[in-house]
Structure 1
Amino acid sequence: MKHRADFHRDEKSRGPAKDVTFIVTVALKPGCEEEFFGLLTPVLDAMRHEPTFINAVLHQDPEDPSRFMLYETWADLDDVVQVQMHRTYRKPFWDRLPDLLREPRRIETWTPMRRDFTFFASW
């Protein structure tokens, strides 16, 4: 069964001007990758069911396997700040993350302007 975010959204009801994309870059201490995945996976799995969630993609740096970039888009910045960041399913991840980092994470906020996706994913 496809999730709501898998289908083209009605831009009249939720226009791109309100959507927000976060690009989070995380550099882990070497050897912490497995624990990071173990903590992040339940967060990503739960986010998928949130009503304002649009998409998320986790990337790994091919030259540094302990460096990751998370790209996630949400339909409402206020909801992310006031509701999503405080979900209980995030707590184990937030509590443990500082000990896994080799440097402070970098968070950028972007406004989506255009979307081009295919429904086929090779991974």
Structure 2
Amino acid sequence: MNNAKEIIILYIRFKIKKGKKDEFKELLSSNIDRMEHEPAFISAILSDDVDNSDEITLYEIWKGTKESWLKEELPKPYREKYESKLVDLIEERIISYLSPTKEWKTDFTK
């Protein structure tokens, strides 16, 4: 483990189907509204790609490890509706699990 506080970051890149961006953002926002109440949740940032209007990035920060996130957070019941609707809204989803090693103006690794 390279961070003392066990923080896992999910960096998720979505390629949205044409004409589905608003519907996708509504679904995603609803999901984040639920997950922000989880004890392990720290924060999330949703960003539009300024060079690709059909791409969105979600940056989630959680307490724990990749393994604990997959075991404890992914199976939550509210995620089922979200996951089942994604197939109609996105062309691609790329998930990277990151472990912070240094940061500025935060103290995740200290």
Select which of 4, 7, 15 maps to 2:4: 15
Q: Classify 1:21/1:61 alpha carbon distance in 2 versus 1 (closer, same or farther; 3 Å).
A: same
Is the 8 Å Cα contact of residues 21 and 110 (structure 1) preserved in structure 2?
yes
Higher relative helix content: 1
Equivalent residue number for residue 68 of structure 2: 79
* Contact persistence 1:23–1:107 (CA under 8 A): yes
User: How many residues end up aligned between the 2 structures?
Assistant: 103
Instruction: State how far apart, in whole Å, the 1-side matches of 2:105 and 2:24 are.
Output: 28
Partner residue of 2:21 out of 33, 57, 62:
33
Query: Tell me, which stretches of 5 or more residues in structure 1 are unaligned?
Result: 1-13, 119-123
Q: Unmatched 5+ residue regions in structure 2?
A: none
Q: Does 1:96 align with 2:90?
A: no
| Cα distance between partner residues in 1 of 2:68 and 2:30 | 20
**Which of the pair is proportionally richer in strand?**
2
The structure, 1 or 2, with the larger RCO (C-alpha pairs under 8 Å, 6+ apart) is 2
Identity %: 28
What's the CA shift string for 1:52-77, capped at 9, x where partnerless? 11111111111222200111111112
How does 1:48-63 map onto structure 2 within 5 Å? 48-63=36-51
TM-score (norm 2): 0.83
Note the aligned Cα RMSD (angstroms). Answer: 1.8
The CA deviation string for residues 3-54 of structure 1, in whole angstroms up to 9 with x for no partner, is: xxxxxxxxxxx934x2111111000111101111111112111111111111
| Deviation (angstroms), 1:114 | 2.9
TM-score where L is the length of structure 1 = 0.75
